[in-house]
Amino acid sequence: MKKIFISSTGVRSGQSLAVWCVGEMLRSQGLRVGFFKPFVTRPVSHNGRIIDKDALLMKEYFDLPEELSILCPVVPEEVPGDEVAREEQLMRIEECYEKVQKEKDALIIMGSEKIFYEPDSPYLPDGVLVNRFNAPVLLVDKFQNENMSMYSVLAIDSFLKDKVKFVFVNQIPLESVDAAYNKLVPFFQKRGTPMIFLVPQDRILTSLTVRNIVDIIQGEVLTGENRLENLVESTSISSSHLKGSLHLFRRIYNKIILLGLETDALNTPLISSKVTGILLTGGRRPAPIIVNTCGDLGIPLAVTPFDTFVTMEKIQKQQTHITYKDVYKLKRFVQLLGGDEAIQKIVTQLDEIYKF
C-alpha cells in the first residue's frame, strides 16, 4: 500500500484542497484510496458529536466506509495535554490507522494545520506522526516570498530526514509568479528533491459560492435556486453595478450585490465580474416585481434577517471550508497544478518510492 503524508507550513495554505486533489489523482489511476487524519483540527458538530470537516469531505466524496470517528479519531480538546493522554492518543491513532488502511491501495494521511513544532499545540507534532507512519511527505506552503518558501521546505526536509518528496507552493500572487518560477523551480530541480509545483493565486479558488453566502447569513432563497453555485469574488452596495432591468434595485437601500463569475463561465476565468446574486437585508420581503426581475435574469435573490452591517460582518468573518459540492475547485486546482502532466509526475514518483 502506498502512503503519503500531507502537511502544511501554516494555516489557510490550501492543505484540504491538496489532500482532495491527491486523493482524486490516485483514484484516477484506479487505486482504492483511503484517508486518515489523526487529529480533528477543523471541528464541526454533527449529530451531537465533534467531527472533522476534512474527514467529512473525504468520506462523502470518496464514499469511504469507515466511521468519521475512525477516519479522524482524536479531538484534542477532549483530553488533557499530559504525557499519559499523549500515549493514549497515540494508541487510539494506531488502532484506527490499522482499520483505515485495510483493503486500500493508497492511503492519504493528513497532518495538522502546521508542521512547525509549537510547545502549546494540542496536537502531536506532524514530525512524530511522519516517522511513526514512515510515509513520504507532501508539503503545502502558502507563498509569502521565494526565500521563505525555500527556507521552510529545506528546514522541514532536514528535520524530517529527506522525507519531503513533493511541495505545492500555493497562492502565489500573479506579480510574483515569474520570480517564484525562476528561483524555486531551478533550485529544487538542481537539488533533485523534492518535486515542486507552483500554484498561482486564483479568483475561482478564492471565491465563495452564492450558496456558501446564503448559508452564512441564514438567507432564504427567493429565486435562482439553480444558480447558487455562481461564484462570489466581492460584494458591493453600489447601484453602479445594476444595469438594464436591474436598475429597479436602485430604489432598494437594504441590498448587497454579489459580484463574481457565473457557473457557466468557470472555464473562461478572464472575463470580468458580473452580478451573480443579490441579498436583501433586514428581513423585509421584496415586491413581486423584484423577485420576477431576478427570476427572469437568472440571478439568485435571497433575503436575510440581518441588517447590511451585520450581514457584511458575517460574510467577512466567516471562513468557509470546502465541501464535496465544490468539485469546481478541485478541478481548478488540478488544472493550475499542471493537469495530467502533474498527475503523472506525482503518481510516477510515488511508484518509484514504493518500488522496493
287 binds another protein (CB under 8 A): yes
Best CA proximity match to 136, nearest among 112, 178, 167: 167
CB 317 within 8 A of CB 308: no
81 binds another protein (CB under 8 A): no
312 binds another protein (CB under 8 A): yes
Q: Which of 45, 47, 134, 238 binds another protein (CB under 8 A)?
A: 238
Stretch that binds another protein, among 162-170, 180-188, 208-216, 309-317 (CB under 8 A): 309-317
344 binds another protein (CB under 8 A): no
Best CA proximity match to 159, nearest among 137, 186, 188, 190: 137
319 binds another protein (CB under 8 A): no
Cell 502533474, residue?
Answer: 342
221 binds another protein (CB under 8 A): no
288 binds another protein (CB under 8 A): yes
Q: Which of 248, 265, 327, 353 binds another protein (CB under 8 A)?
A: 248
Neighbours of 226 (CB within 10 A): 10
For another protein, which is the closer residue by CB, 46 or 284?
Answer: 284
Angstrom distance (rounded) from CA 177 to CA 195: 17
Q: Which of 234, 267, 318, 348 binds another protein (CB under 8 A)?
A: 234
Angstrom distance (rounded) from CA 91 to CA 134: 16
Q: Which of 45, 47, 134, 240 binds another protein (CB under 8 A)?
A: 240
91 binds another protein (CB under 8 A): no
| Axis crossing angle, helix 15-28 with helix 327-337, rounded to the nearest 10 | 80
Stretch that binds another protein, among 61-69, 142-150, 190-198, 284-292 (CB under 8 A): 284-292
Stretch that binds another protein, among 29-37, 75-83, 131-139, 307-315 (CB under 8 A): 307-315
Best CA proximity match to 160, nearest among 114, 118, 127: 127
CA distances 234 to 168, 219, 275, 276, 295, Å, are: 27, 18, 10, 10, 22
Angle, vertex CA 259, rays to CA 256 and CA 261, nearest 5: 150
Site residues, another protein (CB under 8 A): 234-240, 248, 250-253, 284-290, 308-309, 312, 316
